Amino acid sequence: MTSSVFPAAHPLQSYGWDDAWADEFAPYDAEGLLAGRVVRVDRGQCDVVTADGVLRADTAFVTPHDPLRVVCTGDWVAVEPAGNPRYVRTYLPRRTAFVRSTSSKRSEGQILAANVDYAVIAVSLAVELELGRVERFLALAWESGAQPVVVLTKADLVPDPVTLGHLVQDVETTAPGVAVLPVSAGTGDGLDVLAAVLSGGTTVLLGQSGAGKSTLANALIGEDVMHVQAAREVDGKGRHTTTTRNLLALPGGGVLIDTPGLRGVGLWDAESGVGQVFAEIEELAADCRFHDCAHVAEPGCAVLTALESGALPERRLDSYRKLLRENQRIVAKTDARLRTEIRRDWKRKGAEGKAAMEAKRGR
């Protein structure tokens, strides 16, 4: 059964519109407001793709003191049909949200993108792998509710297939339950596999400056829509090619949100995300003698036993401890009640949206 708000062939479907969003928007449709998806935010204004095309709108009505409730790229919004300026009245409840902590001493959360299904973490093979940074990005991705995918960019710089295989294996060990895809935007190797994975939803592209994100985005889209700058040879880092978050439709289906290169990736209430990144440590911890084991010197610690036997690499345990400590500091500085309220709302809406899509596929 097709939504009464939009017919089956409505152009917003290519941007992720579905029956569940139509149901959420129904009250605003009755008020005569336009539905649209935010494709770019810039200094209190945003570009919104609607059935009438891309509109420029002011976000003054939706600019609270809480930085997690501002309009962001990927939001579905209700926009005034006319006006100068034209205003965004509200955004629909988010299914997922990418949040990192800011560099401010207040440790506020900063929302990067909303309503994302896949998180592509771009890691350049032009420089030595930083597995700890990969784990940090993975924790951010898992906590958001999206499915992470690690893409090893510039794979053509590793022509030996054995060496490339070892690098892929190293990252797979770091990213349990996550697809790891070597890709070369220059030669096109691996792009078809990646495009097929991303065709079913909204993807956010994350990574450091110089990781090749904009080049990858251009290759997936099939044209040079993102400006590209060369990375420094000494360390593979580049300037911020992308300065805003842009949502772009992919020719094979799905949409892509490219983000500026992130020099700092601070966690924000990401305990469950850290747990998923280090699933093997969490499983070991379940067998510890004491339920509150700190895995330092306690008797009967299954984690330390695995460490001593070599089954658990020391680097993994050190990284796990570091991210947990960082997350605990952030949690201690933020408003736990507000945080819990926001997370509960996201998870509820995400579950409802997924259930609606599964029911639609089953019909």
Q: pLDDT tens for the chain, 363 residues: list them.
A: 444 454 455 678 889 999 999 999 999 999 999 999 999 998 889 999 999 899 999 998 886 667 778 899 999 999 999 888 899 999 999 999 888 776 544 556 778 899 999 999 999 999 999 999 999 899 989 988 899 999 999 999 999 999 999 999 999 999 988 999 999 998 999 999 999 999 889 999 988 877 888 889 999 988 655 444 444 343 444 444 444 568 988 988 899 998 765 555 666 667 788 888 999 999 999 999 998 888 888 899 999 999 999 999 999 999 999 998 888 776 666 666 556 666 666 666 666 666 665 665 565
Q: What is the pTM of this model?
A: 0.79
* Token pair for 135: 């784990």
Q: What is the pLDDT of residue 311?
A: 94
pLDDT on residue 2: 42
pLDDT of residue 337: 58
What's the confidence (pLDDT) of residue 93?
Answer: 94
Model pLDDT, residue 271: 79
- Integer Cα distance of 314 and 124 in angstroms: 24
| 38: nearest Cα among 108, 113, 95 | 113
Return the closest-CA partner of residue 249 out of 292, 312, 208, 202.
202
Give the pLDDT score at 9: 58
pLDDT at position 252 is: 85
Residues near 238 by beta carbon (within 8 Å), at least 6 away in sequence: 209, 210, 229, 230, 231, 232, 261
pLDDT score of 208:
81
Residue for token digits 């998806």?
37
Answer for the pair 10, 17: CB distance below 8 angstroms, yes or no.
yes
State the alpha helices, DSSP H only, in 96-209. 131-144, 161-174, 191-198
In whole angstroms, give the CA distance from residue 141 to residue 99.
9
Burial class of 271 by CB neighbour count within 10 A (0 to 12, 13 to 18, 19+): middle
CA–CA separation, 239 and 99 (whole Å): 22
